[in-house]
């Protein structure tokens, strides 16, 4: 990378996360010779972009920095000669996430941002957009790094690298940071005196912990965390359903917080259904939180990240995204957890697929630490999840309805058969404005399935489900176990 003044672009710049990102850059001003920051959004996000963009300018000014903060709806203008491009966008905005959660839950099926039906549909909407961004980057900033924070981060990163051919792509998540802090807190050992090795997929990894003497402390954490009557999910927006101590002890490694959706499937589903009945799914809560945040951001005197942003769920975002950029630019070799190509790191998965692992970040990219193979229990579910992810990516790119139905069928959180097809069709119709690759199938649904159209339209009229939806719950895969 050429040395000199940096141009950094953030796509999805009108996000409520942006102040955290700006704070991270300010903290690293001594490492990053930033000249320009460009915040990019779409017409539907224009108002939020202007609000958060003006706040970003105030933050930079308060820090005494001479950076230029530019706001634009023209992505190509922003990308011209960029050095780093970060992505934090949400296709369809939070209204799309509300649909991702509420439509499956109306059938007694988990709806969640990156898991189950909701996660697959977020991928269907997002992957074509990341590939279109890459096409612009090939023309306008061919040497730039793409730092992806857009969920589902693992699948989006894999699409960018394998299908888009943009090998200068890294995927990031704040969840490993939270797990690291948890391990430090439980053991009473500073984070920099621990070595934590992560391996798996984004939102589906396991990890082990050692101290600076080389002693493994994983089982000690398991004993302290999972023997307790009240467990800590680590991630504030994930319900802390109890995980059986015997199960986790036998794993011999610590699961990701998101494993609760699989290891405690029924408890997590029951909790989500209660939220749904109360009109308080996670997306609805987040939307209310965002509304409050943007009211704060409007304050012309606010020139720092407000504490309320931590309620949004993106805590430590800048610790990941900004440190990644600083480490690449300065060849720091920072130890991080990254979604990147496997390259043999996890023997149980395809060589060219994207995995989430621990490694070092250098000027030439990410060098992962070898993990090897998993025990049979983890290996089986991991391989199944990767196969599902690869099928989702193919469906998203090709607009392949059969592949989408196959992905629904093999996903552990979606019952197969008639209900998988019914749910898929309902969600295709619900998201029709953001799924041009499925346009022909959606037209067919609108013409031939009036019951699908009426069901979705009625469900989405109100934040509170109808009595029929409240009482209706189909048996799920987890119920049958």
Whole-angstrom Cα distance, residue 314 to residue 172? 12
Q: Are 396 and 159 in contact (CB under 8 A)?
A: yes
Q: Are 355 and 197 in contact (CB under 8 A)?
A: no
Q: Across the strands, what pairs with 206?
A: 199, 255
Dihedral angle of Cα 402, 404, 408, 411, to the nearest 10 degrees: 110
Q: Count CB-CB contacts under 10 A for residue 475.
A: 10
Whole-angstrom Cα distance, residue 446 to residue 426? 10
386, with CB counted inside 10 A (0-12, 13-18, 19+), is buried
450: alpha, beta or left? (left if phi > 0; alpha if psi -120 to 50): alpha
HSE of 186 in the Cβ direction (CA atoms, 13 Å)?
A: 23
Q: What is the DSSP letter of 162?
A: I
What b/e string do you get for 346-382 counting C-beta neighbours within 10 Å, with b at 16 or more?
bebbeeebbbbbbbbbeeebbebeebeebeeebeebb
3-state class (DSSP) for residue 318 = helix
> Rounded to the nearest 5°, which phi and psi values hold at 146?
-105, 115
Q: Are 17 and 314 in contact (CB under 8 A)?
A: yes
Beta strand pairing call for 204-211 and 34-40: unpaired
What is the distance, to the nearest Å, from the Cα of residue 224 to the centroid of all Cα atoms in its chain? 28
> Rounded to the nearest 5°, which phi and psi values hold at 212?
-70, -10
Closest-CA residue to 390 (of 405, 376, 377, 403): 403
Q: Are 233 and 257 in contact (CB under 8 A)?
A: yes
Whole-angstrom Cα distance, residue 406 to residue 404? 5
Q: Is 304 a catalytic residue?
A: no
Q: What is the DSSP letter of 362?
A: E
Whole-angstrom Cα distance, residue 337 to residue 258? 16
Whole-angstrom Cα distance, residue 92 to residue 111? 16
Q: Are 177 and 230 in contact (CB under 8 A)?
A: no
Q: Are 137 and 146 in contact (CB under 8 A)?
A: yes
**Catalytic one among 17, 25, 198, 258?**
258
Known catalytic residues are 258
């Amino acid at each position: 990378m050429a040395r000199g003044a940096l141009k950094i672009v953030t796509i999805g710049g009108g996000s409520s996360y942006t102040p955290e990102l700006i704070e991270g850059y300010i903290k690293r001003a001594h490492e990053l010779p930033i000249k320009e920051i460009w915040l990019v959004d779409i017409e539907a996000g224009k108002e939020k972009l202007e609000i958060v963009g003006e706040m970003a300018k105030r933050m930079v000014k308060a820090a005494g920095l001479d950076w230029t903060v530019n706001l634009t709806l023209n992505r190509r203008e922003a990308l011209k000669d960029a050095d780093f491009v970060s992505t934090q966008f949400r296709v369809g905005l939070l209204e799309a996430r509300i649909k991702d959660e509420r439509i499956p839950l109306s059938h007694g099926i988990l709806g969640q941002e990156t898991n189950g039906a909701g996660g697959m549909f977020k991928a269907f909407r997002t992957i074509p957009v990341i590939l279109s961004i890459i096409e612009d980057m090939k023309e306008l900033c061919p040497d730039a790094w793409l730092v992806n924070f857009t969920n589902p981060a693992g699948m989006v990163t894999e699409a960018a690298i394998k299908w888009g051919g943009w090998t200068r792509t890294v995927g990031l998540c704040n969840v490993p940071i939270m797990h690291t802090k948890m391990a430090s807190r439980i053991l009473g050992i500073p984070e920099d005196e621990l070595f934590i090795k992560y391996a798996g997929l984004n939102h589906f990894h396991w990890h082990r912990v050692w101290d600076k003497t080389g002693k493994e402390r994983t089982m000690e954490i398991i004993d302290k965390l999972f023997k307790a009557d009240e467990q800590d999910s680590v991630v504030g927006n994930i319900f802390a359903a109890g995980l059986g101590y015997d199960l986790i002890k036998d794993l011999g490694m610590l699961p990701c917080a998101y494993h609760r959706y699989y290891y405690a499937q029924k408890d997590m589903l029951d909790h989500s259904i209660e939220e749904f009945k109360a009109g308080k799914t996670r997306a609805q809560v987040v939307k209310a939180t965002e509304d409050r945040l943007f009211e704060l951001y409007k304050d012309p005197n606010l020139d720092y990240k407000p504490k309320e942003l931590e309620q949004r769920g993106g805590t430590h975002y800048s610790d990941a995204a900004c440190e990644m950029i600083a480490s690449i630019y300065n060849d720091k070799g920072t130890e991080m957890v990254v979604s990147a190509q496997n390259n043999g790191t996890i023997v149980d998965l395809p060589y060219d697929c994207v995995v989430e692992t621990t490694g070092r970040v250098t000027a030439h990219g990410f060098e992962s630490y070898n993990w090897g193979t998993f025990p049979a229990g983890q290996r089986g579910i991991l391989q199944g999840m990767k196969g599902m992810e690869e099928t989702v990516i193919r469906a998203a790119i090709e607009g392949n309805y059969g592949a989408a139905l196959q992905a629904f069928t093999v996903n552990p959180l979606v019952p197969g058969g008639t209900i998988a097809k019914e749910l898929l069709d309902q969600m295709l119709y619900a998201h029709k404005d953001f799924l041009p690759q499925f346009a022909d199938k959606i037209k067919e649904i609108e013409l031939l399935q009036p019951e699908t159209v009426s069901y979705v339209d009625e469900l989405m009229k109100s934040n509170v489900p109808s009595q029929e939806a409240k009482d209706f719950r189909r048996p799920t895969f987890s119920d049958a176990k």
